[in-house]
């Protein structure tokens, strides 16, 4: 087995955040965010840069509270977390195939959520997918 096959067969260990949610570099707790994180330059497509800026503006306008401002780096870190979450479901040999696969996984999840919403019409509008699934399971167990 070559190194590439070994890397594919052996999932990388995930570093879990501490119980309090701190994920920064050791010894940087309480420091500004730029001192807690590791800089990583990632080349983006021009349309990604444009759309990322638009998403930052839209999310910033919808904020309801203070706290750290939302930046392109904020959304990039969230994007990395989402890819790590979906990685086991993704497949493909290049960026285009992986992107299509990730989008397919997300679309499937959104479709499943919509089906759950229809099956549990009395659920609150902001109910999570897991909450909807639990309600549906309880309904099925009670014979409704």
Which residue in 67, 103, 63, 61 sits closest to 82, CA to CA?
103
77 within domain boundaries: yes
**4-18, 58-72, 129-143: the lowest-pLDDT one:** 4-18
Neighbouring residues of 52: CB distance < 8 A, sequence distance ≥ 6: 44, 72, 75, 76
* Phi-psi category of residue 88: left, alpha or beta, with phi > 0 → left and psi -120 to 50 → alpha: alpha
72 within domain boundaries: yes
Helix (H, G, I), strand (E, B) or coil at 68: coil
Are 59 and 103 in the same domain?
no
User: How would residue 57 be classed by pLDDT, with cut points 50, 70 and 90?
Assistant: very high
CB 132 within 8 A of CB 120: yes
15 within domain boundaries: no
Looking at residue 6, what is its pLDDT?
46
Looking at residue 13, what is its pLDDT?
45
Token representation of residue 114: 């919509």
Neighbouring residues of 83: CB distance < 8 A, sequence distance ≥ 6: 90, 102
CB 134 within 8 A of CB 120: no
* Total number of domains constituting the chain: 2
Q: Which domain holds residue 50?
A: 41-89
2 within domain boundaries: no
DSSP 88: G
99 within domain boundaries: yes
Which residue did the predictor score with more confidence, 10 or 138? 138
Are 99 and 143 in the same domain?
yes
Are 101 and 131 in the same domain?
yes
Residue 97 has pLDDT above 80, yes or no: yes
Please indicate, yes or no, whether the overall pTM of this predicted structure exceeds 0.75: no
Mean pLDDT over 18-29 rounds to 75
Mean pLDDT over 65-89 rounds to 90
Are 83 and 102 in the same domain?
no
Token representation of residue 32: 């500004």
User: How would residue 64 be classed by pLDDT, with cut points 50, 70 and 90?
Assistant: confident
User: What Rg do the C-alpha atoms of the chain give, in angstroms?
Assistant: 20
Q: Give whole-number Cα distances, 88 to 16, 75, 101, 118, 124, in Å.
A: 17, 21, 11, 28, 31
Are 134 and 101 in the same domain?
yes
């Amino acid at each position: 087995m070559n190194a590439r096959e070994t890397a594919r067969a052996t999932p990388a260990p995930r570093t879990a955040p501490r119980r309090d949610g701190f994920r920064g570099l050791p010894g940087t707790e309480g420091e500004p965010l730029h001192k807690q994180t590791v800089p990583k330059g990632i080349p983006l497509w021009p349309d990604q840069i444009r759309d990322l800026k638009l998403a930052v503006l839209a999310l910033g306008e919808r904020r309801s509270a203070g706290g750290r401002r939302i930046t392109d780096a904020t959304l990039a870190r969230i994007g990395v977390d989402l890819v790590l979450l979906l990685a086991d479901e993704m497949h493909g040999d290049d960026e285009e195939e992986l992107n299509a696969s990730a989008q397919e996984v997300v679309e499937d999840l959104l479709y499943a959520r919509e089906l759950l919403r229809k099956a549990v019409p009395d659920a609150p509008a902001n109910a999570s997918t897991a909450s909807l699934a639990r309600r549906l399971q309880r309904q099925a167990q009670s014979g409704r």
